[in-house]
C-alpha cells in the first residue's frame, strides 16, 4: 500500500502547531515594537522645513538664548514658534538677500506666517505645560536634546507616555539648579541623586500625585 503521509509529516504538523501557539506572542511583540519605533514616535526623524534653520548655528555658534525665540516657554503652556519679525530683527541687516531666506522675506511682506512643520506634536488629549517644567528645574535639553548640535532640528526623545511617567515617578535625576535650566549643554554631576533630592525639596516637588491620570489628561 502507498504510504499516505511522508516521513516529515509529523514534524510539519508539530511545527504548524508550535507556530499557531507562538503567533499571538509574535504579533503582540511586533505591535509593541512598531508603536515604540521612530515611525510612530517621530524620534530622530528629520522634518524638512521651508527654511533650513540651524539651531547649531544660532544657538551653538551665535549663542542665542532659547527664550529669545521661544519667548512663551517660561510663562505659558507653549514655548511658541517665533513670528517672522523675530527672525528679521537680525536678518533685516544680515544675509538680507540670501536665497535660503526668501520665505522669510515673503512672509514679512505678505503678513502670512512661515509654514514651519512641527517637530514635536503631542496628541490633543495630552496636557503639557512648558512653564511648570521649567519652573521646577527641568532643563530644555532634557526633552529637546542638545539643540546646539543640531544642524536640522529633530525630536531627540520618544515622548511616549512611558517616557513621561518615568520622569514623573523619579524626577531627581533630571533636575537642575535654576541658573542651569537654560544651559545649552548639561550633564548631571556625579552626586546627581543626592543633588536631585535636594532640588526636589527646593522646588517643592511631591511625586504622590504626579502619575495621576488627570495630571496629563484633562
Per-domain boundaries in the chain: 9-41, 55-81+116-216
In angstroms, the CA 142 to CA 166 distance is 13
Which residues is 175 bridged to in the sheet? 138
Note the Cα 154 to chain centre separation in Å: 8
End-to-end alpha carbon distance in the chain: 74
Per-residue model confidence as pLDDT tens digits over 8-17: 677 777 788 8
Per-residue model confidence as pLDDT tens digits over 106-122: 999 999 999 999 998 88
Q: What average pLDDT does range 161-171 have in this prediction? A: 96
Residue 25: per-residue pLDDT? 84
> Among candidates 152, 192, 160, which has minimal Cα distance to 176?
192
Per-state percent for the chain, helix, strand, coil, to nearest 5:
50, 5, 45
Mean pLDDT for the chain overall: 91
Distances (CA, A) of 89 to 48, 53, 56, 207: 24, 15, 19, 42
Helices 84-91 and 102-110, interaxial angle, to 10°? 120
Residue 90: per-residue pLDDT? 95
pTM of the model: 0.83
In angstroms, the CA 139 to CA 145 distance is 10
Per-residue model confidence as pLDDT tens digits over 39-86: 888 899 888 899 999 999 999 999 999 999 999 999 999 998 999 999
Residue 7: per-residue pLDDT? 67
Handedness of CA 182, 57, 148, 159 (dihedral sign): positive
Are the beta carbons of 190 and 165 closer than 8 angstroms? no
Are the beta carbons of 131 and 181 closer than 8 angstroms? no
Are the beta carbons of 148 and 59 closer than 8 angstroms? yes
Residue 31: per-residue pLDDT? 78
Amino acid at each position: 500500500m502507498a504510504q499516505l503521509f511522508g516521513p516529515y509529516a509529523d514534524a510539519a504538523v508539530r511545527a504548524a502547531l508550535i507556530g499557531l501557539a507562538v503567533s499571538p506572542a509574535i504579533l503582540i511583540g511586533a505591535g509593541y515594537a512598531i508603536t515604540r519605533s521612530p515611525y510612530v514616535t517621530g524620534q530622530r526623524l528629520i522634518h524638512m522645513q521651508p527654511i533650513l534653520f540651524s539651531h547649531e548655528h544660532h544657538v551653538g555658534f551665535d549663542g542665542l538664548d532659547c527664550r529669545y525665540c521661544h519667548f512663551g516657554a517660561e510663562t505659558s503652556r507653549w514655548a511658541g514658534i517665533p513670528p517672522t519679525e523675530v527672525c528679521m530683527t537680525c536678518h533685516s541687516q544680515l544675509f538680507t538677500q540670501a536665497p535660503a531666506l526668501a520665505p522669510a522675506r515673503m512672509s514679512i511682506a505678505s503678513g502670512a506666517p512661515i509654514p514651519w512643520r512641527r517637530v514635536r506634536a503631542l496628541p490633543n488629549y495630552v496636557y503639557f505645560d512648558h512653564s511648570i517644567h521649567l519652573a521646577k528645574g527641568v532643563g530644555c535639553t532634557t526633552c529637546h536634546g542638545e539643540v546646539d548640535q543640531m544642524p536640522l532640528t529633530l525630536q531627540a526623545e520618544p515622548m511616549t507616555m512611558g517616557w513621561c511617567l518615568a520622569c514623573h515617578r523619579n524626577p531627581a535625576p533630571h533636575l537642575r539648579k535654576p541658573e542651569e535650566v537654560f544651559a545649552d549643554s548639561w550633564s548631571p554631576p556625579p552626586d546627581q541623586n543626592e543633588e536631585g533630592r535636594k532640588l526636589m525639596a527646593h522646588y517643592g516637588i511631591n511625586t504622590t500625585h504626579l502619575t495621576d491620570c488627570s495630571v496629563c489628561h484633562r
